[in-house]
Every structure is written in structure tokens, then in C-alpha cells.
Amino acid sequence: MLRRVAAIGLVCQALWLQPATAEEAGGPCAPDAFEDTRYLVCTVDPAASDLRLFWRGADEAPFRRFERVAQSLEAEGHRLVFAVNAGMYDTDFSPIGLYVENGRELRPLDRTVMTGSPGSIPNFYKQPNGVFFLGEADAGILSSDAFETQRPAVRFATQSGPMLVIGGALHPALIPGSSDRTRRSGVGVCENGTVRVAISEGRVNFHDFARLFRDHLGCPDALFLDGGNGTGLYDPAQGRDDTSWHGGYGPMLGLVR
């Protein structure tokens, strides 16, 4: 009997010492820090997870709020684990630039090139901008020019800008020490094809935000999604259900279970 009890105790101890799963640890999003800025970073393996883009519901109206996406999924027997705003959008909440959902191109690639001083050009049009996309079991980020040339088969895609990291190099226009600091969100495709979404908890400039992806998260390619009061996260495990300052979001990227 004593041996049996001891054996049971050892088994329980071994189970206790095993690493917690992502679900047990609170989900795929976790606090992180790089240099002087705190972030929330969500990590997903696209080959083993159901990562999707959302824009409009069954009534063709934009979801606008994370909770509406969650409710729509719940009606289908699914759960929204986390979501972020997935790029910039117009006043009617339609995506600016390319948007592909379930293999259907709902908005075309925007190849507009603006001229003028860097401060006068909206972030989306700071060249090169780019496209984050999901294939059948992988993810990628390409500059908009490269995406137009290659036209990879995609299930989901969203265009945004500027690119942050391109083939391991920082976007050449990003300025070290820039005073242009605000909350920012972005997405990177990292080692072994892992997708990492990062949202700053404080203000950060583009250069430092890009270095977070390249130097801290190990992402050779990364794309800016949005900034300021438009930055948003849905993650019940973190107690987050952000709302946009102007009434909603356009495209959203979310993990479904």
C-alpha cells in the first residue's frame, strides 16, 4: 500500500511539473517587454490553428466590434480565442486595400503611390507597404509589389502599411529615436512560420516597434497594422475587449476554436 501511495505521489508530482498548455496558461497571448516598452504578444502556429480574417456578418454589415464576431462564432459552436484589428479601414469600416476572405477577393490590391514629405503621407501609403496572408497551412508577408508579382494562392489576406521588417532588414525609412510615438499593433511571420501579433501597451516609434519583431520576436518579415486609438485587442483571458474610438473596426484577425 505504501509503495502504491508513493507511486501515485510521484505520478502526481510529474504531472504537476509538466509545462502548462497554452490554454491552461491563459491562451496564446502573453505580456512581454522589449527595452523600455511593454507589449502583449499573441503567438500562433498557422499549420495547427484556425486563424481567420473577419469583416462582415451574414447580414453583410461590418462586425465593427470584437464581441459581434465572438457572438457569430458562438452561434456556430465555435469560440473566439483572441482577435486584433487587422489593418486600416475607411469611414464605412471597409478595408483600405486588398482584402481576401475564404478565398474571395472582396477588395482589390491598392497600388497607389503618394508623393510628398514623409509626414504628409498616411501610414498605409508609406512605401513599401505590404500584405499579410494565410494559405492552407501557412502564413506569409510580402510587399505589395511582390504580392502583385507572385500572386500566391491565399485563403485570407489583408493589406496594410508600412512594412516593418523585410527579409530581415528594417524598413529603410524608419528613423531611430523618432519622436513619433504612439500605441502600435503589427504582425510578423517568424521562425518556422509562426505568426506573432504584437500590441504595445505604451507609446513606441516605428523603428523600435520594427526592432521588436526582428530582434526580440525573431520575425524576418513584419507588417504594421494600426496605431493610436485604433489599436485594439480582444482576449478574455487578459480581460480585454477593446473598442475603437470612432465606433468600430474594419477587418479583424482572430483565432478560432
pLDDT along the chain (257 residues), means of 10: 38 35 64 96 97 97 97 98 96 96 98 86 94 97 98 97 98 94 97 96 97 98 92 93 90 98
Kindly give, in sequence order, each residue whose CB lies less than 8 Å from that of residue 229, ignoring residues fewer than 6 positions away.
183, 244, 245, 246
Tell me if 13 is assigned to some domain: no
pLDDT reported for residue 257: 96
Residue 172, domain extent: 23-111+121-256
Domain-embedded: residue 2: no
| Global pTM value | 0.89
Enumerate the β-bridge partners of residue 189. 195, 221
Q: pLDDT at position 117, please?
A: 81
Structural domain count of the chain: 1
d(CA 125, CA 139): 23
Burial of 115 (0-12, 13-18, 19+ CB in 10 A): exposed
**pLDDT computed for residue 26 by the predictor:** 57
The answer to whether residue 47 sits within a structural domain is yes
CA–CA distance, 104 with 154 (Å, rounded to integer): 9
Residues whose CB is less than 8 angstroms from the CB of residue 143 and which lie 6 or more positions away in sequence, other chains included: 128, 129, 130, 131, 163, 166
Tell me what pLDDT residue 98 has.
Answer: 98
Does residue 14 lie within any of the structural domains? no
Count of H-run helices and E-run strands, the chain = 4, 17
d(CA 118, CA 174): 10
Whether residue 116 lies inside any domain: the answer is no
Residue 229 domain-assigned?
Answer: yes
17 belongs to a structural domain: no
Does residue 18 lie in a domain region? no
